[in-house]
Structures are given as C-alpha cells and as structure tokens.
Structure 1
Amino acid sequence: MLVVLMQRGYVELSGDDRYQLTTKLFEVAHRHPPIRRLTAIAGEAMQRLANRINQSIHLCILQGGRLLVIAQVDCPDNNLNSVRLGAQIPIFDSASGRVLAAFMDDAALEHLLTLAGPEPKDRREKFLADLPGVRAAGYCEGPSLTLAGVTNLSAPVFDYTGKAVAAVTTPFIHRLNSPLSVPVPEARDILVETCRDLSKRMGAGAAADQ
C-alpha cells in the first residue's frame, strides 16, 4: 500500500527514512469545486481584512478530524504571526476548531471527535464546554492555547445549506508601537462582518429563502 501511495505522490520518504505525507492531498482538495470557489472569493476579502486590522489571516476547513489551512495572507506590518499554508492543526488547540464544531449537530460533532482521536479528558471537556458560548456569540475569542501574548479571533463561513464550511481566523498579536494597530474588539467586529459577507457570497440563506 505504501509503495502505491509513493508511486502516486501521496507519500514520500524523509531524510531519516521515515514515511511522511506530501502536499498531494492538499492539492487534490483544492481541485474540489466548493473549496476552489471558497478560496477564490476569500482571497481578496482576507487581504483587505489583514490590511484593516494589521494582522495575518488564515482560512481553515476540516479534513479527517483536523484543520487544514487552505489560504493565508499577511498584513503590511514587519512583525508577523502567521500559520503556514497547508498546515494541519488539531481541533482542540484552536479557535477555528471551536468555531466549526460549535455549529455542528450532535451526530456530526461526535463523528468529528472520533476522527480527531483520543485526547486528555480535561482538554476534551474544555473544548466541548466552550462550544455553546461560541455558537451563541457567533465567533470565538480567547487567548491562544499555543502561544503567549496572542488572542485568537475566529468566525465561521456558511454555505447555502447553512453548514459552517470554513473558519477565518487571526492570531492577533498585541503590538506596542504600531500606528496601524486596532483594538481587539474592533478587529473582531471587522472579522465577523467579513465572514458574513463571504457567507452571503457562498449562498448562505439561499436554502431558507426557497
């Protein structure tokens, strides 16, 4: 099986003779029409958002129980905190994971947790406890679980079925002397409004109008 996967470009041998995934799955995912449409309409909006709030922005979808970064833009500032395009992130460590999980029904959430794999009980419970608040607010805001001094802001993008198909997120760094910086509440409101606009362009609300 590994030989076939290598022949087809999905797996490669690293320098220490260990198997690792290539970016082939990432490329295949981008050829899927809904994802291609999402990245096509999100790029310009994300760059405008990054420029307005002076923060880096990334766009995530769920894939196999983890988050996949399918788009990323930087802000004009010299000091950046960005997430690598194509990165795979555990759902329990992220605001994006909370945003996407918060708008799932019980069956879909249970399936996501199964795909995500075993996790320490306290982290799983904290993740689940955060979801009602995220759903009620319509966004996730809180200290980064991986980096000190960073506030994660994330909001969902919905498609025409009303499903949250992606999350737009900024790992907001608190700059001390940048004239372009905006406060967290203002950055959050602009991010949420950007996601509402992207959702409309993805057809959100169309099913309810039929």
Structure 2
Amino acid sequence: MAHPNDRYRAPALDKGLDILELLAEQPHGLTRAEIVKAMGRSPSEIYRMLERLVARHYVTRSQQGDRHALSLKLFELGHRHPPIERLVAQALPAMEAFAKASEQSCHLGIYSRGNVTVVAQVNGPGNWGLTLRLGVRVGLVDTGSGHVLLAFQSEQRRAQMLAEHDALDGERPMPEPQLQPLLQRVRALGYWQGDSQQAFGVVDISMPVLGLQGNALAVLTCPFVRRIDRPQGPGLDAARQLLASAASELSIA
C-alpha cells in the first residue's frame, strides 16, 4: 500500500499496484467483492481498475467471470530484463554441468525486494532431488542463499538489504548479534554449508557469484540430498567443490 506521506502521489497508479500486490499473495485469486473488501475501496474504483488490468493482461479473469488472479505477465517482464536474461543465459550451462557431475539439483538466486528470488533452476539427472520453482522468493536471513548474498556486500549495502527485508511465511528470525558473526564466518570460508532450515535431511551449499568489487551479484545453491539407495554417488565434499567451480566460472571478480 502507498505510504500516506509519499511526496509524489499517483492515485490511479497506486490503486493498480495495490491490486497487483494483493493478488500476488492469493494463489487461487479473489472475487471482485473480496478485492473491494480487502482494499477498502469503492466497487466502482475497483471495477474500472480491474478492467484495465485484465485488458493489459496483468490479471486474468475466470471463465465464470467472478474470480481474478495474477497472470504471468510480470514474471515474463522480469525475465526480459537484460541483466537477468544475460546472467541466466550464462549460468545455465555451468549449472547443467554441475547437476550432471554431482547428481544434484541447483538453483540461482538474486537479491530482490528484501529477499532472494530464484531466477534459474536445474534438476539433477536422477529421479530424486529437491527443486524450487522459478520466481519463488526465499528468506534473506534464514537460508544459505540469503546468508551468502548478505555476507559478500559492503557494510552499507548489507544494511540497506536488511532494512528492506520483509519476513516471509515460516521464516525463522535471527537477531543481529547472531546474524553478524554468522556472516563473518561465511565470508571467511567463502561459502555457506549447513542443514536446511526449511526441509529435514537436506544440506544447503551456497556459493557467491562475484562481481568486480568482490560483491555477490547472485548466489548458486545446491540443496544436497544424500541417497540411501545410491551411496556410490558423489558425496557432499565433491558436490561443494563442483559448485565452487561453477560459481567461480560465473564470477567476474
């Protein structure tokens, strides 16, 4: 929602953005009446704005005409953004080579709007593995991906990222006195490795993709799953070394 003290106001634009942000949190969509109630706006205001969002394909309407949901247009627009498109195009061959060699899945995340957004995903070659959906947001302070993105930043940039952070559903908060030493350890090691805070039996390995100044442009993460029925496959140490090589290949530092 728009802040009441915003210096420059565009009420019509604010209404449209409010609707998009509301629908982004509703996987099954909302009826027009539910949108009106949630936003505290008049039905006529919402009707006109919804019609425009549907006409521009940002919002879809059910065949019955009573339920509205976010379309994939914003997702498509985000992936047309040249820096992300170039990063993903460059990363996918290295990620595919890692997945084949390690027999594990991996995903690429970038910092976005206070958390981490997955912009590329490659499955392992076998029938088992842990994968994340493209476009999903994961926590900044309770994941290996977030720890790496925070650790490899300037103090000023890290403070800005933490100030922008909004807790996601199920996130485990971490007080700053606990977070800062953890980030120092990650920076000293050059990577994160530890038990997943989201799934039992998974060890997350996260490596930074570094820019010229040594800051993390992105993070490459493997949710390592040890196979009971295939003990001869590459182990955790081998997977970490392979992931480090892939991240180094993508880095420009």
Structure with greater strand percent: 1
**Across the two proteins, how many residue pairs are aligned to each other?**
200
Q: Distance in 2 between matches of 1:127 and 1:21?
A: 35
1:152 aligned to 2:204? yes
1:73 aligned to 2:148? no
User: In structure 2, which of residues 81, 85, 93 is the aligned counterpart of residue 32 of structure 1?
Assistant: 81
Q: How far 1:71 moved relative to its partner?
A: 0.5
Give runs of aligned pairs for residues 18-167 of structure 1, distance below 5 A: 21-117=70-166, 123-125=174-176, 126-167=178-219
Q: How far 1:76 moved relative to its partner?
A: 1.2
Question: In the alignment, is the contact (CA less than 8 A) between 1:53 and 1:180 conserved in 2?
Answer: no
The structure that has the greater radius of gyration is: 2
Structure-1 residue corresponding to 2:240: 188
Q: Distance in 1 between matches of 2:199 and 2:234?
A: 20
Deviates more, 1:117-126 or 1:93-102: 117-126
Question: In the alignment, is the contact (CA less than 8 A) between 2:104 and 2:123 conserved in 1?
Answer: yes
SS across alignment from 1:49: helix
- CA deviation profile, 1:8-61 (whole Å, cap 9, x unmatched): 44456799x887654433322222222111111111110110111111110000
Question: Could you state the TM-score of these two structures normalised by the residue count of structure 1?
Answer: 0.84
SS across alignment from 1:85: coil
RMSD: 2.5
Question: In the alignment, is the contact (CA less than 8 A) between 2:195 and 2:203 conserved in 1?
Answer: yes
Q: Distance in 2 between matches of 1:193 and 1:97?
A: 20
Question: In the alignment, is the contact (CA less than 8 A) between 2:142 and 2:173 conserved in 1?
Answer: no
Q: How far 1:88 moved relative to its partner?
A: 1.0
SS across alignment from 1:177: coil
- CA deviation profile, 1:102-133 (whole Å, cap 9, x unmatched): 01111111111111136999523343331001
Q: How far 1:177 moved relative to its partner?
A: 1.8
Question: In the alignment, is the contact (CA less than 8 A) between 2:61 and 2:67 conserved in 1?
Answer: yes
The residue type equivalent to 2:175 in the other structure is R
SS across alignment from 1:123: coil
Q: How far 1:93 moved relative to its partner?
A: 2.5
Which ranges in structure 2 are unaligned for 5 or more consecutive residues?
1-14, 17-48
Question: Could you state the TM-score of these two structures normalised by the residue count of structure 2?
Answer: 0.70
Question: In the alignment, is the contact (CA less than 8 A) between 1:100 and 1:156 conserved in 2?
Answer: yes
Question: In the alignment, is the contact (CA less than 8 A) between 2:139 and 2:167 conserved in 1?
Answer: no
Deviates more, 1:166-175 or 1:115-124: 115-124
